Amino acid sequence: MASYMPIILVLVSSLLVVSSHSQSTVPVVPGLSYTFYSSSCPNLESIVRIHLLDVLQNDTTQAAGLLRLHFHDCFVQGCDGSVLLDGSASGPSEQNAPPNLTLRQAAFKIINDLQALISDQCGQAVSCADITALAARESILLV
């Protein structure tokens, strides 16, 4: 157990830093803010957290799926939610690109469920990319 103490301390301190940053009102860089949705969707974080608590109670491995989905969305040209698009008759989708074929379908369903919950309470105020990022962050914090 003693050999795990440094690792545990690093993890706990990292979580404290992340959670303290989520309460900050100071912009990360000009134009970005941890509290961007505080007026347009004040319950955003609790909507996501409550849904993910339910999801992760049944399967904690979904946190890894959500983190990976977020990574694949942000990998090439920044986070834009395009990995969520399932394509149409007019063209291919990112979901069908070879690197994305192994993304968990359950992660896509979780994001779709979150989008519906958030839209019900906040309208179309929250971007898909932000929902994906928030779901990845919250799921990792919860597990």
Nearest to 88 by CA among 76, 96, 78: 96
Q: How many CB atoms lie within 10 A of CB 37?
A: 19
Which residue's structure tokens are 């904690």? Answer: 60
Nearest to 106 by CA among 55, 140, 142, 141: 55
Q: How many CB atoms lie within 10 A of CB 77?
A: 7
- What does the block give as tokens for 79? 């986070």
Question: Going along the chain, which residue ranges are E strands?
Answer: none
Which residue's structure tokens are 């003693």? Answer: 2
The active-site residue, picked from 21, 51, 70, 72, is 72
What are 91's strand-pairing partners? 88
What is the rounded distance in angstroms from the CA atom of residue 112 to the CA atom of residue 26? 30
Is 51 in the active site? Answer: no
Residues with catalytic function:
72
